[in-house]
Amino acid sequence: MRCVVANWKMNLTKDEAQAFCEDLLGRMAPESEAEVGIAPPFTLLHQVSDLVRPRGLQVFGQNGHAEAKGAFTGEISMPQLRDAGCSGVLLGHSERRQFFGETDVALAKKVKAAWQWDLLPLLCIGETLEQRDAGQTLDVLAQQLAILAETGPGPLWVAYEPVWAIGTGRRAEAAQVREAHAFIRTELNRHLAGTEYRVPILYGGSVTPESFPELLGIPEVAGGLVGGASLDPRKFAELVKQAG
């Protein structure tokens, strides 16, 4: 199974989202076997899910709180995401970790909350440039995946997103992706040994239609989490085609 997920971040308005979805769906072959997801801003969740779920696409929240409700101004809960039409939720995106202080402790709680509300967590992990230069990449990935010792097993997608490759136009090299994905698979096998769960590992970081075919040829790369290129329906449709 190959997966392509669009992370729109804090982009698009109602009319723009409408035009995007109509354009994308018009370009998508009905026989495509790729699992396709869109993670719009919260204000667009209802609208996007009404448009794309009838065609089999998934909708993801970009974040979700661990508590089901309460006095958490500015937050959104897992049941609210479900109510808005989501089937999954991005968790631990590096922009959340970097700009909003998201910790592994909080993420373990969020993963459990997602499962409780029947949402598929798409857990994002990856090293900063400083960590890579210091030779710490695999240690960082192991530490970020160690939350699975706390959460226990469950349905999960993982995205390997080197922080230095996100939104920079600087994609990780094939050898770096191969090493990271092989290591993540080993760690997942260790954490999920003896369970039914087989976790797809997506790559994220400056994916484009030009670079995606090579990435898809790397062992353990099950697809892509896409930011910039996912805002252009023509480019995103091309990525879906390459994955399907």
The CB-nearest residue to ligand PEP is 227
242 class by beta-carbon count within 10 Å (0-12 exposed, 13-18 middle, 19+ buried): middle
- CA pair distance 64, 6, nearest whole angstrom: 17
- If one asks whether residue 161 binds ligand PEP (CB under 6 A), the answer comes out as yes
Question: Interface with ligand PEP includes 207 (CB under 6 A)?
Answer: yes
What's the closest the beta carbon of residue 201 comes to ligand PEP, in angstroms? Answer: 14
Judged by beta carbon, residue 21 or residue 225, the one nearer ligand PEP is 225
Question: Is residue 121 classed as helix, strand or coil in its secondary structure?
Answer: strand
In the list 40, 64, 162, 227, the residue contacting ligand PEP (rule: CB under 6 A) is 227
Q: What is the DSSP string of 50-97?
A: HHHGGGT-EEEES--BSSSSSS-TT--BHHHHHHTT-SEEEE--HHHH
Residue 85 C-beta: closest distance to ligand PEP, Å: 21
What sign has the CA pseudo-torsion 115, 119, 120, 122? negative
Among 204, 136, 215, residue whose Cα is nearest residue 178: 215
Catalytic residues: 93, 161
**Other Cβ atoms within 10 Å of 241 Cβ, number:** 16
Interaction residues for ligand PEP, span 2-61 (CB under 6 A): 7
Which of 185, 228, 238, 244 forms a contact with ligand PEP (CB under 6 A)?
A: 228
* Of residues 121 and 205, the one with the C-beta less far from ligand PEP: 205
Among 226, 237, 240, 243, binds ligand PEP (CB under 6 A): 226
Nearer to ligand PEP, 95 or 187 (CB): 95
- Binding positions for ligand PEP, rule: CB under 6 A: 7, 161, 166-167, 204-207, 225-229
